Amino acid sequence: MSAEDLFTARTVAEFTRIQGGRFALNLFVQIYEEPKLIFFSSPFSYPNALQNQLTSIIQSTNSGSDTQNRIFENPYQIGTARFCEMLEDPQFTKFSFIRDPIDRFCAAFNNVMSEHAPASDQKELLLKYLGHNSGELLLSKFAEIIAENTEARDLIPVFRPQRNIIAYDFVEFDFVGNSDIWQHDLQRFLSEYVGISDDKLTSLKKKPHPDEFMYEIDNSTQICLENAYLADYELLEELQF
């Protein structure tokens, strides 16, 4: 095995260890060849409107049928060797957006684990692991479980810390935005790193639909979630949002 092949293998192995498998790597890493961007996404960390806006703006500012039809690719599609080259290439801007950990957890729980969530393989897998026969699991109880059991927390990607999903400690990021002010930060990112003029970003002023859920988080549950997502709180502090 050549030195280049060894570097590629080690890089991909480290990504899969951090993110939780090659499936997560290819699902949450989106690569734009033109402009040169690598977006490390994290489930429930930002409104769907953010990605829609990003894709729409990139599509509208590029010409050519290939670009129009294929906006972004994942590491599997471009090949792991090429992906590893991109990570080392300073021409590629590496960026992500992160969200308040408790807000993100509530959104994920509501969509995946609540009694209102549709049946899914992820829900069945986690309930089976926890020994729950019923499809109902209280948010407060789940918060207690994942505060004590990181294996349960990390079993499916949506509950992994954002710091892990975006491989923050492994990637040299150029920009990390705050989802709480995503319109401001996305506009700043596109202006400063992509070179799109402000007059083409007027659509960013339109606010996305809010999360359609409401949970009362008591003090005990908050402490559990703060413990479960300590890595994300440390990340927020490092970024000084």
Q: What is the pLDDT of residue 67?
A: 44
Q: Region 43-63: what's the mean pLDDT?
A: 73
Q: What pTM, to 2 d.p., does this model score?
A: 0.86
Q: What is the pLDDT of residue 234?
A: 96
Find the range with the poorest average confidence among 11-15, 59-63, 87-91, 213-217. 59-63
Within a domain: 73: yes
Number of domains, the chain: 1
Q: Write down the H helix ranges in 91-207.
A: 101-112, 121-130, 139-148, 150-153, 162-165, 182-189
Higher-pLDDT residue of 62, 11: 11
Burial 163-182 (b: 16+ CB within 10 A, else e): bbbbbbeebeebebbbbeeb
Within a domain: 123: no
Within a domain: 12: yes
Residue 206 φ then ψ, to 5°: -75, 125
Within a domain: 93: yes
Find the range with the poorest average confidence among 125-134, 146-155, 188-197, 199-208. 199-208
Higher-pLDDT residue of 13, 63: 13
Within a domain: 106: no
Within a domain: 13: yes
Within a domain: 38: yes
Q: Region 144-149: what's the mean pLDDT?
A: 96
Bridge pairing between strands 29-32 and 37-40 = antiparallel
Arithmetic mean of pLDDT over the chain? 84
Q: Residue 96 — very low, low, confident or very high, per pLDDT cuts 50/70/90?
A: very high
Residue 34 belongs to domain spanning:
3-100+161-210
Q: Residue 65 — very low, low, confident or very high, per pLDDT cuts 50/70/90?
A: very low
Q: Region 71-95: what's the mean pLDDT?
A: 91
CA distance 15 to 167: 7
Q: What is the pLDDT of residue 210?
A: 53
Within a domain: 222: no
For residue 220, is pLDDT > 60?
yes
Q: What is the pLDDT of residue 11?
A: 79
Q: Residue 31 — very low, low, confident or very high, per pLDDT cuts 50/70/90?
A: very high
Q: What is the pLDDT of residue 118?
A: 87
3-class secondary-structure state, position 101: helix
For residue 37, is pLDDT > 50?
yes
Higher-pLDDT residue of 63, 32: 32
Find the range with the poorest average confidence among 30-39, 128-137, 179-188. 128-137
